[in-house]
Amino acid sequence: MTSPERRTRGRTARSRLRALDAYLCRCERPLLERQDGSWREAAFLDVGFGEHPWTTLESAEAFRELNPSLPVIGVEADEGRAAVAVRHEDSLTRFRHGGFDWASTASQPTRLVRAMNILRQYRPEDVETAHAELGWALLPGGLVVEGSTDTQGGITVAYLLRRTPEGLTREALLFHTDFHHGFAPLLFRDWLPRDLRRRVQPEEPIHVFFTAWTQAWTEAREHGAWEPKSAFREGALRLAASTGAVATEPWLLENGYLRWQPPSGVPRPNPESPPI
């Protein structure tokens, strides 16, 4: 990393990442199930599990419904937390002391790497290096999920970064809400990934996206979709029609997920526009 890794608060509540688990089980099932060649040993790597490894263990349980032999590794930069978590190990689940670059030093192939609520404390310019380190051991087609949630997991925004022949690509940005706070697109602004959070301003691609989403949501409400879930769904359909970059699978929209997947990937911030 370009800066030393920091000790995070680590107070991850149980079930905080359940919505993300559900998305991955539904939409990344082939990735989780694959067993040919090197994939048999390819792990799910959970980076920065926090004070207790609840979310790692919950994800292991969910993913093993699809792949009972899936190796799971929880990694935590705080040595004391990592040592305490070892008591939860079994034949397929391990906990280790380490950081973003753990996979690059352990010779463990990975299929899925998750790093949630970690980079919020870092500088925006550190994000790309962190992503590269997280994705170092991914097999081709593997995925890094990096982003933030609120404390209870009711609001989530995460990058979906795919290992392709060209390298680690910014495939999509995933949004999820459980509608506990109602709904408006800008509800997600404070939970954007670190390099986008202060970029919702004119001349920035993420601002253009939120402007289009807000317009689509407003039009949906003007046409009678007042209830938060229906406004979310109908607004997403309008946004998909106007941009061609939003997934419209019924399961996603009915359950509060919006996946923004521009053809050329999620745009990087404008280098000439300073963050606010």
How does pLDDT run across 52-102, given as a tens digit for each residue?
999 999 999 999 999 999 999 999 999 999 999 999 999 999 999 998 888
The answer to the question of residue 275 being in a domain is no
Question: What's the whole-number mean pLDDT along residues 239-263?
Answer: 98
More confident residue, 111 or 12: 111
**Residues 90, 42 share a domain:** yes
**Residues 51, 165 share a domain:** yes
Burial, 44: exposed, middle or buried (Cβ in 10 Å; 0-12, 13-18, 19+)? Answer: buried
**Residues 25, 149 share a domain:** yes
The answer to the question of residue 132 being in a domain is yes
Overall number of domains in the chain: 2
- Rounded Cα distance, 196 and 154, in Å: 20
**Residues 234, 106 share a domain:** no
What confidence category does residue 8 fall into, taking pLDDT thresholds of 50, 70 and 90? low
* pLDDT of 275: 78
Per the rule left: phi > 0, alpha: psi between -120 and 50, beta: everything else, 182 is left
**Residues 204, 236 share a domain:** yes
User: Tens of pLDDT along 125-176?
Assistant: 999 999 999 999 999 999 999 999 999 999 999 999 999 999 999 999 999 9
CATH classification at residue 46: 3.40.50.150
**Residues 152, 90 share a domain:** yes
The answer to the question of residue 4 being in a domain is no
**Residues 125, 40 share a domain:** yes
**Residues 59, 173 share a domain:** yes
Residue 13 has pLDDT above 80, yes or no: no
> For 35, what's the count of Cα atoms within 13 Å in the CB-facing half-sphere?
7
**Residues 227, 104 share a domain:** no
Residue 274 has pLDDT above 90, yes or no: no
Read off the tokens for 206. 């993420």
Residue 4 has pLDDT above 70, yes or no: no
The answer to the question of residue 31 being in a domain is yes
The answer to the question of residue 268 being in a domain is no
The answer to the question of residue 80 being in a domain is yes
Tell me which residue range forms the domain holding 207.
199-244
CB 274 within 8 A of CB 199: no
What confidence category does residue 9 fall into, taking pLDDT thresholds of 50, 70 and 90? low
The answer to the question of residue 222 being in a domain is yes
- What distances in angstroms separate CA 145 from CA 111, 114, 263, 270, 272, one per listed residue? 11, 5, 19, 23, 27
**Residues 109, 69 share a domain:** yes
Residue type, 101: D
The chain-wide mean pLDDT, for the chain, equals 93
* pLDDT of 105: 79
* pLDDT of 3: 40
Residue type, 68: P
The answer to the question of residue 262 being in a domain is no
Residue 271 has pLDDT above 60, yes or no: yes
**Residues 218, 120 share a domain:** no
Percentage with pLDDT > 70 across the chain: 96
State phi, psi for 124 to the nearest 5 degrees.
-55, -35
Burial, 271: exposed, middle or buried (Cβ in 10 Å; 0-12, 13-18, 19+)? Answer: exposed
* pLDDT of 10: 57
**Residues 222, 104 share a domain:** no
User: Tens of pLDDT along 199-249?
Assistant: 999 989 999 999 999 999 999 999 999 999 999 999 999 999 999 999 999
